[in-house]
Structure 1
Amino acid sequence: MSEDTPKPRRAPRKRKPAAKQPETRAAPTTSAPAEAPAAAPTALIRVPLSVRWRDLDAFNHVNNSKYLSYLEEARLRWMLSVPGQGLDEHVAPVVAAAHLNYRRPIEWPAEIAIELFVERLGATSVTIGHRIVDAADAEVLYCDGHVVMVWIDRGTGRAATLPEAVRQACSRGEPGN
């Protein structure tokens, strides 16, 4: 081809249709920030925390990534209450999935509370629901959702049976128990 000859154009690639996402269970709270939140099931733990100045982003509210840190802190405090902390030389928990619904921004200064409760108890995993609320007024909902924790065999990396101590601790926090 000479420099004056236009190059042939390729036909645009056809995109594959997006894979249909599996449906997930909705968190047992409101679907819109303006509505009052539904009552949460019996809590595994309620952890009060102070929002720190360093948690803020350029918009002067708590950065979305800090919500995960708040949830981690609450889960760790709950795990400390479980005999053996749900781990030993053979099994340990890992976070397999996290779902957060950001309902309203948290501004500084603020006192918040993280509430954890059992949504689902499986053979190798537990789905822990969460709510981040105002410490003085639990009807002020900042975030809700859930985290799936799976216990794995440290040697193989495969799912392992949920330790009995974890199952018992979760059963105390399941609705109706």
Structure 2
Amino acid sequence: RYLETARIDWMYAIGCVPDPAGEGPVIVNAFCNFYKQLEYPGDVRLKMYASDPARTTFETWATMERVDAPGIICAAGGATTIWVDFPAQKARPLPDWMRRVVDAEI
């Protein structure tokens, strides 16, 4: 839940909003590995990154730690995102602007 919320917030913040009548991002593979329990109540610090822009895909990944235990990674995960033409239901090359954003995150 934390990872997906951060990923969606990041995409909206950079103007990467899916257009059902056009193109946009689709998560094709996501994972999360938990190393320590995230106990309730508590605040979670999530650090998200984007990397590895390819022809039609890029990676997002993140680490999670408790605010009261900085530097101790409780969980880490990521997702592969593919750029698609929604009406055609086909992969499309990453737009240049999106490639620049992902390159800047590395």
Do they superpose with TM above 0.5? yes
1:79 is aligned, of 2, 6, 11, to 11
* Structure-2 residue corresponding to 1:142: 74
Partner SS, residue 105 of structure 1: coil
Describe how 1:38-49 pairs up with structure 2 within 5 A.
Answer: none
CA distance in 1, matches of 2:37, 2:43: 13
Sort the Cα spacing of 1:137 and 1:165 in 2 relative to 1 into closer, same or farther, 3 A. farther
Structure 1 runs, 4 residues or longer, greater than 3 Å off: 86-89
1:153 equivalenced with 2:52 (yes/no): no
When Rg is computed on C-alpha atoms for both structures, the one with the higher figure is: 1
Sort the Cα spacing of 1:164 and 1:137 in 2 relative to 1 into closer, same or farther, 3 A. farther
Partner SS, residue 46 of structure 2: strand
1:173 equivalenced with 2:100 (yes/no): no
Sort the Cα spacing of 1:108 and 1:119 in 2 relative to 1 into closer, same or farther, 3 A. same
* Structure-1 residue corresponding to 2:47: 115
CA distance in 2, matches of 1:168, 1:100: 26
Q: How many residues align?
A: 105
Long gaps (5+) in structure 2: none
CA distance in 2, matches of 1:78, 1:116: 9
Q: What TM-score comes out, normalization by structure 2 length?
A: 0.87
Long gaps (5+) in structure 1: 1-68
Q: Amino acid of the residue matched to residue 75 of structure 1?
A: R
Describe how 1:1-177 pairs up with structure 2 within 5 A.
Answer: 69-83=1-15, 85-88=16-19, 89-174=21-106
CA distance in 2, matches of 1:165, 1:86: 13
* Structure-2 residue corresponding to 1:47: none
Q: Which of the two has greater strand per residue?
A: 2
Q: Amino acid of the residue matched to residue 71 of structure 1?
A: L
CA distance in 1, matches of 2:44, 2:75: 11
* Structure-2 residue corresponding to 1:48: none
Sort the Cα spacing of 1:135 and 1:86 in 2 relative to 1 into closer, same or farther, 3 A. same
